[in-house]
Structure formats: structure tokens, C-alpha cells
Amino acid sequence: MQRDEPNSRVVALAGGVGGAKLAHGIALARSGEHLSVVVNTADDFTLFGLHISPDLDTVMYTLAGLANPETGWGIAGDSFVTLDMIKGYDRDTWFWLGDKDFATHILRTERLRSGATLTDVTVELAEALGITAQLLPMCDEPVATLVETPDGLLEFQDYFVRRQHADDVLGVQFEGIGATTIPERVSDAVDDANIMVLCPSNPIVSTGPILAIPGLRDRLRQLTMPIVAVSPIIGGQALKGPADQMLATLGHEVSAAGVAELYKDFLTGMVIDSQDAHLAERITDLGIAVHVADTIMRTDDDRRVLAEETLIFAESLIVKPELA
Ligand code: GDP
Ligand code: CA
């Protein structure tokens, strides 16, 4: 359904599965052409010599309509013949990679080796899959999330996949972040947008690295466009993954209000779940406008409806020049 009023131009910040769902909803609610998605790359890593970008791939497959609906990551109906053969060579295969998924990593790695930036490759792959939204890595330089646990410092995928995020997280480090710069395309996407959306992603290890790119957070504090987050914590819990445990062991309140605290220096508005309506006043006390909605996205329609509500809420927060 086409809307009559001019479309807002949206820049979204996202991690993996939760972020991908809302980004997909925005593309469904409005149009991909009016959306840029800036994606966490701090959980990128190398496996079998291939550059793997788990969050970029999740968002890319979701926007392309290829994502596996059961897991939220990987490609629907993918086979695992290659991984089985690797297993046959007695290699440890703790990271699940489908055959079609391998194609993405092979081509990405080939282009990176020939000197392309991660931004170049990402744009090429997304365009080839027919994605109309602009898909952008948060930066082109390598960044690696390291997780401090009682058992020592772990690489992110070791913590997350191999050890199934069972360790207490005592701290996180984003190795390499100090040397990153905001890519030109990200900077342009922010300049061109009139709304920013922080998708419901892990605030520590997905949104966290994006906000840690030198200069980015300061830039957000100075923006005049509304910045609206959809809470990744519902009823004191994460829907999946370790966001709730991480917030707790890092000393944050495990609630939408706790997430609002983390973003309060730049956030204009927050969409919280109906279950959390009682937190609204505490969040508005932080100077953040609140919209209450059903924020659990089970179907494509849930994604579209939540995205539309989020955008209408954000649009209501745009400061009109004549009122400023
Ligand atoms: P990952 O990169 O795959 O770990 O996923 P994300 O970075 O996107 O973070 C997972 C977070 O997304 C968790 O806090 C979930 O509660 C949240 N999430 C996942 N699906 C939904 C959803 O449908 N609605 C909301 N509000 N949050 C969600
Ligand atoms: Ca991730």
C-alpha cells in the first residue's frame, strides 16, 4: 500500500536477528529505497579462511526474503553437504554454515582479498540479491568483540556459539574500535535521514560496538532528527540470546528502562512493549518520549505493523521548523 505523504528517510542501527526483523518491517511498511541499515560487524570472524559477517548476513538474508524462519539466521532450506565433508576431515564444525551461505562468504572473501572494502562488497551482494534498502557495515576496519568471563577473555563466537553464551559476562572489549572511522556512506545516510531507529538488538554487543565507533555517539547527541529505539528487553527478559544475562552481570537494570539509561544521552523516543507500560513514566523522566506497543515480531505482518507504529511515533517527534 502506497502512502500519500512523502516518505521519511530512515537510518536504522541493527545487530542480527532482532534488528533484521524490524529493518525488514520498515522496508515492508514504507519502502526499501527510503531505508539505510547500519549493521554491527564486531562479531565478524574468519573461519576456514573465509570472512564471515554474521549480523550483516542475517540482515541481508532477511531483507532478501531468504532467511531461515526457524532460526532467524542462515538461508531457508539450505543444505550442509560442505560442512559434513569438513567434519569428515576431522575438523571441528561448531559454527553452522550451510552450502548456500558458504557462497556468500567465499565471494565476500574473494572481493576483500582483491582490495574491496567491506562496504563495497556488502553493497554488491545486497544489490545482487535484489535488496532495495541500503545495507552498510558499521565500519570497514576489523573490530573484534572480546568477552571477559570468569574463565578468561573469550573471542565472541567462542563465547556465543561454541560455549552457547553460558559464561557470565564481566566485561566486553571491542578490539580495533579505536582505529575505526565512520564510513562515508554511513555518514551520508545519517545526513540524508530524518529519522533514526535503533532496532531491538543486544545493547551491549550489537548496538554497543556501533556506538563505540569514535565520533559516532557525539554525532548522535548533536542530531536534530528524532532517534527512536525499540526495546530489545520485554518483561525483564530478552526474547532470545544473552542480552538479559549480560545487562545483569554488567550491573545494568534488566528492563526497557535499563536500556533507556544506556541510550539516554542521545535518545529522543523509545517504543516499549505493552507488558512494560508501567515503565513509561520512569523513561519519560529521563527526557525520552515513550510509545507503548506490541513489540514481539512473530510474523511478517507483526514486523510491518511495529515498524509503521515506530515510524509514525518518530515522525511525531520531528521538530517542525515553524515550531522550533
Ligand atoms: P543477535 O545479533 O542475533 O544476537 O541478535 P540481536 O543483536 O538482534 O539481539 C537480540 C535481541 O533482540 C534480544 O535482546 C531480543 O530480545 C531482541 N529481539 C529479538 N526479536 C525481537 C522482537 O521480535 N521484538 C523485540 N522487541 N525484540 C526482539
Ligand atoms: Ca550478532
Determine, yes or no, domain membership for 252.
yes
Residue at 172 is within a domain: yes
Which whole number is the average pLDDT over 16-22? Answer: 97
| Residue 310 beta carbon below 6 angstroms from any ligand 1 atom | no
How far apart are the C-alpha atoms of 48 and 3, rounded to whole Å?
47
The number of the ligand nearest the C-alpha atom of 255 reads 1
| Residue 57: closest CA among 86, 17, 18 | 17
Asked whether residue 2 carries a pLDDT value surpassing 50, the answer given is no
Predicted local confidence at residue 5, as pLDDT: 53
Our count of domains for the chain comes to: 1
Decide if 203 contacts 243 (C-beta within 8 A).
yes
Element (H, E) at 37: strand 35-39
Residue nearest to ligand 1 atom 20, measured at CA: 18
Is the pLDDT at 16 greater than 50? The verdict is yes
241 in contact with ligand 1, CB cutoff 6 A: yes
The pLDDT tens digits for 142-167 are 999 999 999 999 999 999 999 999 99
Residues whose CB falls within 8 Å of the CB of residue 2, separated by 6 or more in sequence, listed in order: none
Task: Classify residue 36: in a domain, yes or no.
Answer: yes
The angle subtended at Cα 118 by Cα 95 and Cα 223, nearest 5°, is 110
Asked, for residue 305, whether it belongs to a domain, the answer is yes
Q: Specify the pLDDT at position 72.
A: 84
Environment of ion ligand 2 (residues, CB < 5 A)? 15-16, 43, 55
| pLDDT at residue 1 greater than cutoff 60 | no
In a domain, 317, yes or no: yes
In a domain, 192, yes or no: yes
Beta bridge partners of 230: 271
The CB of 230 under 6 Å from ligand 1? The reply is: yes
* Domain contains 184: yes
- Residues spanned by the domain of 136: 10-43+132-323
Residue 243 lies in a domain: yes
Confidence of residue 312 (pLDDT cuts 50, 70, 90): very high
Query: For ligand 1, is residue 200 a contact (CB within 6 Å)?
Result: yes
pTM for the complete prediction? 0.96
